[in-house]
Amino acid sequence: MPIDPEIGAPATDPTAAGEAVPASTRADRAPAHQTNGRLDGERLDQELARLLDVERFDPPEEFRKQALLNDSSIYEKAERDPQAWWVEQAEQLHWFRRWDTVLDDSNPPFYKWFVGGTLNASYNCLDRHVEAGLGNRVAYHWHGEDGEQRDITYAELLAEVKRFASALKALGVQKGDVVGIYLPMIPEVVVAMLACARIGAPHNVVFGGFSAEAVRERMEFSEAKALITVDGAARKGKTAPVKDRVDEVMGDLATLEHIVVVRSKGTPCEMRDGRDVYYHEIMAAADPECPAEELDAEHPLYILYTSGSTAKPKGILHTTGGYMTGVSATHKYVFDLKPDSDVWWCAADVGWVTGHSYIVYGPLANGATSVMWEGAPDYPHKGIWWELIERNRVSILYCAPTAIRACIKWGAEYPNKHDLSSLRLLGTVGEPINPKAWLWYHEVIGGGRCPIVDTWWQTETGCIMITPLPGITATKPGSATQPFPGVAAEVRQESSGEPIDEGQGLLVLTRPWPSMLRTLYKEDERFIAAYYERFGRETYLVGDAARKDKDGYLWVIGRIDDVVNVSGHRLSTAEVESAIVAHPDVAEAAVIGQHDEDTGQAIVAFVTLQGDLQGDEAEVEGIRETVAERIGKFARPKRIIWTDDLPKARSGKIMRRLLRDIAEGRELGDVTTLRDPAVMSQLETRIKELQAQEA
């Protein structure tokens, strides 16, 4: 079945292309930004067009020789005894008490790992490195949007974390209490997360781009006892108030006893007596010592809310031992980490799982030095990322395909102004990457010499599941390639559930892994229904469609449920629809994701207005503003299509599949089962009119 190359795989059979590129011809070519004849404009287009005919890229020989893993027998070793493989990874952590049982699988899908063992994530990220004499190693090169820079060592970070952990305890936060965190990309967000982990208080981080209403919803669902936020946040040269907006919606939340406010931008904000405290004041008064709690391996580390197929977000619950095992092992081996020499940059946000796993817990557990950037990739200029890479001599870059596509749009002249020769490995995360973007990344940013690890995983999986190993795997642009050692994945037929040796179907994970979500917070039944109902309680339904080629490579295509992926941000259609319908003029709405070259998917909303109201630009802006207020600006519909009615089954269910078909120009097939088949012809006419206007 042909697949659109813009959603992650070539339209032709990916295994029917040319030979693998010999490592010598790829690795020895000087990078584009170090040659007099830089690849840009027409020359770059010609080179990318030529490379689109190349099937696979072998690891450069010099890279392979020095890689931590360079022998493919590692896959066989892990497959022979997966539990022994994961034990080997867990033994790289510090345990106060070793486990009695590696895996308790007596009650699937409620698996437990390293049962009886005790550890602490904060201790593993900080104390053990300082005790090993690495206290002066830089943990983060932090860069603020306004040019401010701070180098924070492991010893300094440990001192801050211990003091803030003491401050939280002084506020009455105890082991098991949930603490909300709503902070931008400033060092205090890492301090807050690790302080919570230190005392056993699960944290609930909310992405800074979410609205205050979304914060309240997540604090209410999780029954948070405290919230850590900020006076104001910078974004592209402007400062937006944060604390005051939080106050507008948080006032009557029964469980919330304290709001801790970080003075970041000097933005004036109201402080309620008895509830609100300033971060710097409680830090000054806190005990500088706070021993790390010895926590059970299955003690909750954090809750992270992600969009489901209903309007209510899902609280993904991760525990300590298995999660730390998964993120530390994948960070080490997928990125071939050499902590004594590498400078690591995961250009994500801590508000998403990528930031939890590969800005905070994975890198710090491995003693890495990271770059942390407060701002956007195009402010104060479109070359800021490449400037930061040059200044900090970044060797490994991990970012989203959305960002790469934006950089392609801006042009190669921005990276070509900077020396990117320190880079030795590139990675992608968050969504499938189309082959052309992969090749641009490879040629322009990696200079043709850096392997690319195209990783697939989810909030639910905790760590990377499907990925190349850069010293072993021959990569195919657009394919995440193979499961990480110890992980078992299959593509199954949608109807029968039988495994597919070659072809397209549903992606599933068929064996428990340490960093898997344990449940949905306080919603065990929903957990089973969402992930383990379709193929039984021992098979995890990913929710993505995938294709397996004749070489066994996996090509993840996209979501099969009512979830859209905008710039790597997962949003449920129901959540966006609820926000749209909150607009007073809207009677009904249906939302779909449509392919978009800039953001991967864009939100398209089909909207029915109240009574005889007519849709116009003012209504469009009003609806977009409502969505921004209730969810965040990134969730605003890119296109709104007015309609008198929506296609519904006789049960009343909105048929979003038909809306996707009509928006993408596909054949509709049989619509006789609809309550009113005429709705589709009306929508077809409307969309053709819009396309004519936009042409």
First to last CA, the chain: 30
Q: What is the DSSP letter of 512?
A: -
5-79+323-559 and 121-293: same fold?
Answer: yes
Dihedral class, residue 459 (left if φ above 0, else alpha if ψ from -120 to 50, else beta): alpha
What does CATH list as the number for 121-293?
3.40.50.980
As a whole number of angstroms, the distance between CA 55 and CA 9 comes to: 12
- Predicted local distance difference test score (pLDDT) of residue 18: 39
Dihedral class, residue 424 (left if φ above 0, else alpha if ψ from -120 to 50, else beta): alpha
The alpha carbon dihedral of 608, 610, 613, 616 has a sign of negative
557, 504 in Cβ contact below 8 A?
yes
Q: Which of 329, 324, 467, 449 is nearest to 398 (CA)?
A: 467
* Token reading at 371: 């770059």
**β 396-399/203-205 pair status:** unpaired
Domain ranges of the chain: 5-79+323-559, 121-293, 565-694
Q: What is the DSSP letter of 602?
A: E
- pTM for the complete prediction? 0.83
Per CATH, the homologous superfamily of domain 5-79+323-559 is: ANL, N-terminal domain (3.40.50.12780)
- Predicted local distance difference test score (pLDDT) of residue 310: 52
- Give how far the C-alpha of residue 165 lies from the chain's centroid of Cα atoms, to the nearest Å: 27
Give bridge partners of residue 569 from the DSSP assignment: 566
Distances (CA, A) of 395 to 257, 356, 427: 44, 21, 11
Give bridge partners of residue 443 from the DSSP assignment: none
Phi and psi, residue 35, nearest 5°: -110, 160
- Predicted local distance difference test score (pLDDT) of residue 579: 86
- Predicted local distance difference test score (pLDDT) of residue 10: 29
What does CATH list as the number for 565-694?
3.30.300.30
As a whole number of angstroms, the distance between CA 532 and CA 540 comes to: 6
567, 599 in Cβ contact below 8 A?
yes
When computed from its CA atoms, the radius of gyration of the chain, rounded to whole angstroms, is: 25
pLDDT along the chain (695 residues), means of 10: 28 35 40 49 82 90 97 98 98 98 98 98 98 98 95 98 98 98 97 98 94 92 97 90 93 92 95 96 98 98 80 90 98 98 97 97 98 94 97 97 86 95 96 86 96 97 98 96 98 91 94 98 96 96 92 87 78 80 84 84 89 89 92 92 79 70 72 69 82 71
As a whole number of angstroms, the distance between CA 501 and CA 490 comes to: 9
- Predicted local distance difference test score (pLDDT) of residue 670: 53
As a whole number of angstroms, the distance between CA 530 and CA 314 comes to: 10
As a whole number of angstroms, the distance between CA 542 and CA 519 comes to: 14
Q: Which of 425, 393, 222, 199 is nearest to 304 (CA)?
A: 222
